[in-house]
Structure 1
Amino acid sequence: MIEQLPKAFLERMKAMLGEEYEDFLKSYEAPRQFGLRINTLKISVEEFLKQSPFHLTKVPWTENGFYYEEADRPARHPYYASGLYYLQEPSAMAPAAILPVAPGDYVLDLCAAPGGKATELGARLKGQGMLVANEISASRAKALLRNIELCGIKNSFITNEVPKNLARVMPEFFDKVLVDAPCSGEGMFRKDMDVAKTWDESRPEFFANLQREIVSNAISMLKPGGLMLYSTCTFAPIENEGTISYILENFPEMELLEIPAYEGFSEGNPEWGNGDDTLKRCVRIFPHKMAGEGHFIALLKKKGILYPSKSDVAVQKPEKEAWKLLNEFWAPMELPFEKERIEIRNQNVYYLPPASNHYKGIHFVRNGLFLGELKKNRFEPSEPLALALSQDQFPAILNLSSEEERVTRYLRGETLLIEDGEAKVKKGWQLVCVDGHPLGFGKLVNQTLKNKYPAGWRRNS
């Protein structure tokens, strides 16, 4: 593998690491690390570990992160389809773990796809406050939406915009901002050698210029007193200490904060930036010191007093006939949503985040949680709604064991035969669960479950 790495990259790393360089090279011959992050919005770490069929070892820098063995294949397990965990490279778990998000915060993940960090930020909000997850690429924004929905996050606004357009309509709007910036990707070389093949000496400078534009807009969207976490998955100084130096020089309202230390974390190097001694507060994760591919992290605060965010929702109230259909569906259960945040657009029903109605001109993929669709004389619930519920919130539960063949058949979109007494309610909509965790909906008629798992989500095998 080392032979395939760019020569200029290796020469620079040798100059950077000195005596550690040989250990750095050896890390490329070590096995790749695989990571799984438990979705605490759906299950506690303790409960998941009781149920887990995998071989898990703790990731030290995050409470809900674990290494797993490649043979475990967690992406094939039905728990993945129920959103109980997200598969993420271990060092990439650090940024969202370090940014101190709390329920009620308004949070922005500015470069969010495919959603590894955004889903953790959303989980820590616990349904309170608001998550704006932005991705400039339309195709990647769709993948981001899928992961947000899979994880059951119901207070999100998924945007597809350049940062300057967001900054225009959301000045000083967010309590917390995460900028996992596009970068030259040097920390991805061991995981994906194709990334190394696209690298050349000009890429770090190209991305550094892009990063500085992005962080400038991010800072303008951060409230006084708010926190911004900047991260990359590259080793290039110009993209790391260099970009933080740019922030400190051009935005005097921003100050660099200390980050909790973990064994193996390396401090930033002032000489790789503008010489400011506070650059030591940055963190570098090197693959020869930590069981991860590599990351750079810096936590900054905007000076001032942080005031709480205010709710700002002004939905168009659904017509009486629409409410009638919705109420017929909700009647057997306690409504798990605030009625004043439910809106109907083109017969589609959404549950809006607490502030989402004054962003004219912003391109978005999804505003809030898609609850379902109004059709002739009925309301048809959505897959995202199923994944945002818990089994005790819906009256008609069909609970299957993760070891049952029917779970796999359900995920393939097949019709299921239901034995007498298996379903709590003998007809109508059923929330299909695996070991008590929702997978999706089906409709029971004469002990036959008509599968409502979305075609685009179904497994082929």
Structure 2
Amino acid sequence: MNNIVENNQLLPQPYIDKMASILPKHLSLQEFVDSCHRPLRRAIRVNTLKTSVEAFLLRAQEHDWKLTAIPWCTEGFWIELDEQEVPLGNSFEHLSGLIYIQEASSMMPVAALFHLFDASSNATLLDAAAAPGSKTTQIAAKMGNKGLIIANEFSASRIKMLHANTQRCGIKNVALTHFDAKIFGNWLPNTFDAILLDAPCSGEGTIRKDKLAMKNWNQQAIDEISSVQTGLIESAFHALKEGGVLIYSTCTLSLEENQQVCFSLQQKFPDAVEFVPLNDLFDNATETATEEGFLHIWPQVYDTEGFFVAAIRKTEKTDPERSNKRIAKMPFIRPTRQKEAELYAYFKEQFGINDIDGMLFIRDKEYWLFPDNIKPLINKVRFSRLGIKIAEEFGNYKKSGFKTQHEFVTAFEKQATTNIVELDAAQAKEYYQGKDIRDVETNGASGEVLVSYRGQIISLGKALNNRLKNNLPRELIRDKNLFDK
């Protein structure tokens, strides 16, 4: 193969030489290099916890957004739009959690997971490297907010972003942890029904959105990170139940970080590892399928980032070394039946919400709702955040009651039937700017109300005569370049 390429300003020559040595014979090296220099297509995923694909398509027509279906994700679309005045991230659809802005190839690992795993099962899953939350939110939508997802992130600075994205998307079946994912195999062996390990990697496939991604590329870094990945996949495999499915993925292209990591797992557990081919994941998947059935996504094939996805089934239990760990006592207790009844009666009377699943816990005067599946794990691992905070109790000798929390609204808004205040476009923009709304028709509502725009609940507010007090969380406030419809 001729390694001399034209029009290359971004890729180091040693990297090009390496890719030339592993590029499938039916693909062109020049097309690979050219694709790395093209801008990445924008893509979004419809959040079916909040809306349907059909309803979103109608909204997209109103905006004159041009959509192209992504073959491996029924909720995913490439999107063409003019972002000069309103960035997609400031659209109402994004701010309200109706869509998630996500690169198309990064939707593939979750698609592969539920190609092999029953999304409707009451399962416990691990997303081992979860931030910023694109795949966690995709998993939650596929599961219909049922079961449990342990979303782990090693980087402390990214935990806040992970929580913000799960909150915006109305997710209630997630528990956040903050560990090096290598601990799960020793701490929770043979525990999870399915695991997604979207491993930290060298990011060779991301150059289309990050022109500096390859600036410091070198083989030594590849070898070092592949060693980390090998440790992570072994731990994840130990943590997986017998019969469970592990999806291993990266946004890189080198064999050392992809195929060889999977082969190392097979060599260590030859009787327990089964590679599950993904050749039939979608039409034309065979174009990037390896001999083993892994998907090695070259960017020119589907016009995406470079990516890698492998599916592994665990055919028998494994027995890792156990680690001694100290877990602090969980600072939550179950409320009395009377308090639980009072809170749920308030939600029913105030908002018409009366079907609240999950286990209710209390800490001080905060009420939290935990997924039912968390019960066997409560004393086995420390959580950074568990479930959703749904209310706070206030009271003195003059007045007492409950103050509803934003997370409760985002998770249960579809049930709401009463005390909903509808805003117009101008008012909705002001609300997202953190302003109180004056001269608004509250239709006799009083106290806590649900604030809505175009039939979609935004957040909570407090009705005071003809004024609506703004209760939008500070992290959701945007001060400029907002939507106009």
TM-score normalised by length of structure 1: 0.90
Counterpart position of 1:378: 401
1:247 offset after TM fit, Å? 1.4
Alignment RMSD (CA, Å): 2.3
State whether residues 190 and 293 of structure 1, in contact with CA within 8 Å, keep that contact through their aligned partners in structure 2.
yes
2:66 is the counterpart of 1:55: yes
Counterpart position of 2:320: none
**Using the alignment, how far apart are the partners of 2:38 and 2:448 within structure 1?**
50
Specify the code of the residue in structure 1 equivalent to 2:105: S
2:341 is the counterpart of 1:318: no
**Using the alignment, how far apart are the partners of 1:213 and 1:194 within structure 2?**
28
1:442 offset after TM fit, Å? 0.3
Alignment equivalent of 1:138, drawn from 153, 156, 165: 156
Specify the code of the residue in structure 2 equivalent to 1:255: E
Specify the code of the residue in structure 2 equivalent to 1:396: N
CA 1:60–1:457: 2 relative to 1, 3 Å: same
State whether residues 35 and 66 of structure 1, in contact with CA within 8 Å, keep that contact through their aligned partners in structure 2.
yes
**Using the alignment, how far apart are the partners of 2:389 and 2:88 within structure 1?**
27
State whether residues 114 and 143 of structure 1, in contact with CA within 8 Å, keep that contact through their aligned partners in structure 2.
yes
Unaligned runs of 5+ residues in structure 1 are 270-278, 306-312
**Using the alignment, how far apart are the partners of 2:240 and 2:286 within structure 1?**
27
State whether residues 38 and 208 of structure 2, in contact with CA within 8 Å, keep that contact through their aligned partners in structure 1.
no
**Using the alignment, how far apart are the partners of 1:86 and 1:265 within structure 2?**
28
Counterpart position of 1:454: 473
Counterpart position of 2:428: 407
**Using the alignment, how far apart are the partners of 1:241 and 1:414 within structure 2?**
53
Query: For 1:213, what is the secondary structure of its paired residue?
Result: helix
2:207 is the counterpart of 1:189: yes
CA 1:426–1:445: 2 relative to 1, 3 Å: same
Specify the code of the residue in structure 2 equivalent to 1:56: L
**Using the alignment, how far apart are the partners of 1:326 and 1:51 within structure 2?**
36
Moved more, 161-170 or 78-87: 161-170
Deviations 1:77-97 (A, max 9, x none): 112111111000111111111
State whether residues 224 and 303 of structure 1, in contact with CA within 8 Å, keep that contact through their aligned partners in structure 2.
yes
Specify the code of the residue in structure 2 equivalent to 1:12: K
Alignment equivalent of 1:75, drawn from 84, 89, 92: 89
1:379 offset after TM fit, Å? 1.5
State whether residues 193 and 244 of structure 2, in contact with CA within 8 Å, keep that contact through their aligned partners in structure 1.
yes
State whether residues 444 and 450 of structure 1, in contact with CA within 8 Å, keep that contact through their aligned partners in structure 2.
yes
Aligned identity (percent) is 30
Alignment equivalent of 1:438, drawn from 439, 442, 457: 457
**Using the alignment, how far apart are the partners of 1:196 and 1:379 within structure 2?**
53
Counterpart position of 1:249: 267
**Using the alignment, how far apart are the partners of 2:479 and 2:255 within structure 1?**
44
Specify the code of the residue in structure 2 equivalent to 1:84: L
Specify the code of the residue in structure 2 equivalent to 1:432: V
1:451 offset after TM fit, Å? 0.3
2:421 is the counterpart of 1:398: yes
Query: For 1:3, what is the secondary structure of its paired residue?
Result: coil
Deviations 1:150-177 (A, max 9, x none): 1111111111112233333422111111
CA 1:400–1:386: 2 relative to 1, 3 Å: same
Unaligned runs of 5+ residues in structure 2 are 1-6, 318-329, 481-485
State whether residues 34 and 89 of structure 1, in contact with CA within 8 Å, keep that contact through their aligned partners in structure 2.
yes
Specify the code of the residue in structure 2 equivalent to 1:434: Y
Query: For 1:23, what is the secondary structure of its paired residue?
Result: helix
Counterpart position of 2:4: none
Counterpart position of 1:387: 410
CA 1:331–1:280: 2 relative to 1, 3 Å: closer
Alignment equivalent of 1:233, drawn from 251, 257, 262: 251
Query: For 2:28, what is the secondary structure of its paired residue?
Result: helix
1:70 offset after TM fit, Å? 4.8
**Using the alignment, how far apart are the partners of 1:291 and 1:25 within structure 2?**
12
**Using the alignment, how far apart are the partners of 1:425 and 1:58 within structure 2?**
44
1:267 offset after TM fit, Å? 3.9
Specify the code of the residue in structure 2 equivalent to 1:405: A
State whether residues 148 and 374 of structure 2, in contact with CA within 8 Å, keep that contact through their aligned partners in structure 1.
no
Moved more, 256-265 or 210-219: 256-265
State whether residues 370 and 382 of structure 1, in contact with CA within 8 Å, keep that contact through their aligned partners in structure 2.
yes
Query: For 2:299, what is the secondary structure of its paired residue?
Result: coil
Q: How many residues align?
A: 440
1:219 offset after TM fit, Å? 0.7
Specify the code of the residue in structure 2 equivalent to 1:10: I
2:19 is the counterpart of 1:13: yes
Counterpart position of 1:275: none
**Using the alignment, how far apart are the partners of 1:195 and 1:29 within structure 2?**
12
CA 1:15–1:414: 2 relative to 1, 3 Å: same
State whether residues 275 and 292 of structure 2, in contact with CA within 8 Å, keep that contact through their aligned partners in structure 1.
no
**Using the alignment, how far apart are the partners of 2:38 and 2:215 within structure 1?**
20
Specify the code of the residue in structure 2 equivalent to 1:208: S
Specify the code of the residue in structure 2 equivalent to 1:382: Q
**Using the alignment, how far apart are the partners of 2:345 and 2:354 within structure 1?**
12
Moved more, 45-54 or 115-124: 45-54
State whether residues 241 and 268 of structure 1, in contact with CA within 8 Å, keep that contact through their aligned partners in structure 2.
no
2:63 is the counterpart of 1:40: no
